Amino acid sequence: MTTAIETALTEARVQQLRADFPILSEQPGGVPLVYLDSGATSQQPRQVLEAEWAFRTQRNAAVHRGAHTLAALATDDFESARERIARFVGARPTEISWTMNATDALNTVALSLAEANRAGAVDPTLRIRPGDEILVTEAEHHANLLPWQRLAAETGATLRWVEVDDDGVWTTDALLALITERTRVVAIAHVSNVTGQIAEVEPIVAAAHAAGALVVLDACQSVPHRPVDFRALGVDAAAFSSHKMLGPGGIGVLYLAEALGEALPPARVGGSMITTVTMTEHELLPAPQKFEAGTQPVAAIVGLAAAVDYLEAVGMPAIEVHEVALGERLAAGAAEIDGIRLVGPRPGVERAGLASVIVDGVHAHDAGQLLDAHGIAARVGHHCAQPLHRRLGTAATTRASAYLYTTEGEVDRFLDVLSGVRGYFGAA
């Protein structure tokens, strides 16, 4: 793979990239694989697999703990990864903490706020009292809903949400109308994992901060697919996962803006995040270490850094343009098929590189099985967004999600098989 940043992902360039991904040449069902489930888990290029293997076989040791050479090498890799990943999302290294995954990262923010309030938070930005409000949207992934449900229940705050329309889309104006002087937290997805809707973050941040509220961003579906700069967006906290951006599983990233990272107490305590411990008390290291209790998955972190290197070499602007075009191709094609209901922004309205559909008269799981029989790996279910699906009047949707290695031909193949689903099951 070249290290020169490309300005466009041509068909030839995409084919060149695909050669880096061994799994894309597999035939798991005896037919060529069309992988359209990157919104759930992306595939890994050889460069990432090799980077993780090299660490495990050449530099594996506990970081920040040993005076021997191997520990020093491991620590260098560990902190170098933090610096590279921080740069990738426009953050300072001290603003990046490791978690198990993005769900854990979002829980960490909510649990830390709960701990701050149990301790009688003095900082007004952390204080949540009965009558205060936590604001989300009806389209949130459960990972960005359940922690706030629990925090509201524990603090006595009221959980409020922006409703979606019949297409599963919410508006910025509707959200802004719900921000008041009682709002303490606004937690939203940058990109919906079901609809592909892209949130307008900047005006929401401005309104929330004017009200004294924190903004928490679920960036799982944005950081892997488009240029993202957390400091430029102005959010207070954000979360994303390695396994959705060409990296290994088991590692997530928590961004805490410097002021919030200094003010928040840790959700978990233990080894590696302290300076002094007695039998009755302890003193904490500063952020980010104070949020990293225990042994970290260093090899996976090294793999994630290699994934970031790969994405930067391809060029995030080029990836965004490629995927937006594929998202439009998916949306426009699905909208033209009789008996297929497209969820999310209408064709012609910018969306991320994914599309979810409801097949009239056919359960999503049946549609998924037929797609799979043709080698197409798509996602079926509620995608960890039950309230959204309940509003749409369905238990499940069928979702195709693209990435930098997805071709137009694969999108067309999905649409072709999708067009025959109702006929196959006798629902046409």
**C-alpha gyration radius of the chain:** 22
The pair of three-digit structure tokens given for residue 69, joined into one six-digit string: 């050479």
The three-state (H, E, C) secondary structure of 313-340, written as one string? HHCHHHHHHHHHHHHHHHHHHHHCCCCE
Taking Cα atoms as reference points, which of 375, 57, 98, 85 lies closest to residue 246?
85
* Torsion sign across C-alpha atoms 381, 384, 387, 392: negative
| Dist. CA 31–CA 378, nearest whole Å | 15
Question: Which residue type is seen at 138?
Answer: E
State the catalytic residue, choosing from 349, 384, 386, 391. 384
Residues ≥6 apart with Cβ < 8 Å to 53: none
Residues ≥6 apart with Cβ < 8 Å to 240: 89, 102, 105, 219, 220, 222, 223, 224, 252, 253
Instruction: Identify whether 384 is a catalytic site residue.
Output: yes
Residues ≥6 apart with Cβ < 8 Å to 284: 266, 273, 274, 275, 290
| Dist. CA 190–CA 264, nearest whole Å | 23
Backbone angles phi, psi at 399, to 5 degrees: -120, 130
| Dist. CA 242–CA 189, nearest whole Å | 17
The pair of three-digit structure tokens given for residue 335, joined into one six-digit string: 């909208």
What CA–CA distances, in Å, run from 144 to 95, 175, 215?
20, 16, 12
Residues taking part in catalysis: 384
